[in-house]
């Protein structure tokens, strides 16, 4: 089992390598593509589509409907036998109330938009490249990532918290991610882009962020 796109680093899993291992050891590969579905692939089907992997190589695919799809809930996709087994045997599912029809209609419409409006993914990739270029120009070192998750490692927990709160006061939501969510000493600001952003939003973020990084660089955790 593996994430398609890792939520705290923004990097992609080596699905082709994992699929080869699964085939070698007669195992099933399950991918949680919460952060790739709707964003990656020609039709937005996620990392499996981007890596050209089929259902034989990835028998179990799951993803949330609350991120790129913009609604709520999640799904598990696989063979008919797998789906029926989960419906009949998954303890957490047996007494679950069915999703309302309005939610299902919204999901169907979202999927239509994801598949047909590739310009959203194209715009997102343009924004990612712009953020990374402008951050580098200002001496802000982001973690390696070509996905909408663009983390900036700060290191100290309190420093990350202070910067996040200062950005929030300026109307910018950039959560501080601290241990145990990430390893000790790697507290970070988790910058996340969407197709609803514009380059002006990125400029505003970096203009606010650069002086905060400079101002807090030498402060102790107690300040």
Residues carrying an active site annotation: 7, 35, 67
For residue 138, count other CB atoms closer than 10 A to its CB.
12
Q: Outline where DSSP puts E strands in the chain.
A: 2-3, 30-32, 60-64, 74-77, 149-155, 176-177, 187-192
For the four alpha carbons of 195, 73, 56 and 80, in that order, the dihedral sign comes to negative
How many CB atoms neighbour CB 168 within 10 A? 13
Contact 124, 195 (CB under 8 A): yes
The DSSP letter of residue 172 is -
Cβ atoms within 10 Å of 190's Cβ, excluding its own: 21
* Helix/strand/coil for 5: strand
């Amino acid at each position: 089992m593996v994430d398609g796109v890792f939520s705290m680093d923004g990097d992609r899993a080596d699905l082709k390598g994992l699929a080869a291992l699964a085939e070698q050891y007669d195992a099933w590969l399950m991918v949680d593509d919460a952060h790739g579905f709707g964003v990656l692939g020609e039709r937005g089907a996620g990392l499996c589509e981007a890596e050209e992997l089929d259902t034989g190589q990835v028998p179990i695919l799951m993803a949330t409907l609350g991120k790129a799809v913009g609604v709520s809930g999640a799904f598990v996709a696989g063979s008919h036998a797998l789906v029926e087994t989960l419906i009949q045997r998954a303890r957490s599912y047996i007494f679950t109330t069915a999703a309302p029809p309005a939610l299902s209609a919204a999901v169907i419409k979202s999927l239509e938009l994801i598949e047909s409006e590739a310009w959203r993914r194209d715009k997102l990739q343009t924004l990612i490249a712009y953020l990374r270029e402008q951050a580098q120009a200002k001496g802000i070192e982001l973690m390696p990532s070509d996905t909408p998750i663009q983390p900036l490692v700060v290191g100290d927990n309190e420093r990350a918290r202070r910067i996040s709160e200062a950005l929030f006061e300026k109307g910018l939501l950039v959560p501080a991610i601290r241990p145990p969510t990430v390893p000790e000493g790697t507290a970070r600001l988790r910058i996340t882009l969407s197709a609803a952003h514009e380059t002006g939003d990125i400029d505003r973020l970096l203009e606010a962020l650069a002086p905060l990084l400079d101002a807090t660089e030498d402060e102790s955790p107690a300040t």
